[in-house]
């Protein structure tokens, strides 16, 4: 029988994309075993935690040589939310820029979750994902 750490490593390496959910690894062992192995893999630089139950694969930086997440906040957060079945659209500022209604570049990555409220924190490299939804939008009546 292969040790849990080896089974988890193989499972992580075979997965497409750069985001791994804890729920995807849960069937490999008991809750405590999976938690302890995830902590060990983080300590070894194989994974980095970007949110509750959400981990990103890592790579070595070509500039500094240190271990960094294998993607930016934008790519990792989008992939994580897709795995969590959350439909995400561009935020108001990004939509306005993309539609050429403004030349102001969006300052932060903001995800519009439509009619869904979400408060999950996803953070990569000190930058956190911000959310907006359609609840407080009012149509201009002219």
Domains in the chain, CATH or no CATH each: 1-71 (1.10.10.10), 72-142 (no CATH)
- What pLDDT, on a 0 to 100 scale, did the predictor assign at position 140? 45
Give the separation between CA 124 and CA 38, rounded to whole angstroms. 17
Can you give the pTM of this predicted structure?
0.82
- What pLDDT, on a 0 to 100 scale, did the predictor assign at position 97? 65
Mark the ranges of the chain whose per-residue pLDDT is less than 70. 1, 92-95, 97-98, 104-107, 136-142
pLDDT tens-digit series, residues 77-112: 989 999 988 877 777 666 676 677 777 666 677 887
Compute φ and ψ for 120, nearest 5 degrees. Answer: -65, 130
Residue 84: which residues within 8 A CB-CB, separation 6 or more?
21, 54, 120
Cβ atoms within 10 A of the Cβ of 51, count?
21
- What pLDDT, on a 0 to 100 scale, did the predictor assign at position 76? 93
């Amino acid at each position: 029988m292969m040790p849990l750490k080896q089974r988890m490593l193989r499972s992580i390496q075979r997965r497409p994309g750069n985001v791994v959910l804890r729920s995807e690894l849960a069937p490999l062992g008991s809750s405590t075993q999976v938690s302890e192995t995830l902590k060990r893999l983080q300590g070894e630089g194989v994974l980095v935690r970007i949110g509750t139950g959400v981990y990103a694969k890592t790579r070595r930086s070509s500039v500094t040589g240190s271990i960094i997440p294998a993607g930016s906040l934008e790519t990792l957060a989008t992939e994580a939310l897709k795995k969590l079945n959350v439909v995400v659209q561009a935020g108001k500022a990004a939509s306005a820029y993309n539609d050429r209604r403004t030349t102001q570049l969006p300052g932060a990555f903001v995800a519009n979750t439509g009619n869904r409220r979400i408060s999950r924190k996803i953070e990569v490299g000190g930058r956190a994902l911000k959310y907006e939804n359609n609840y407080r939008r009012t149509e201009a009546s002219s």
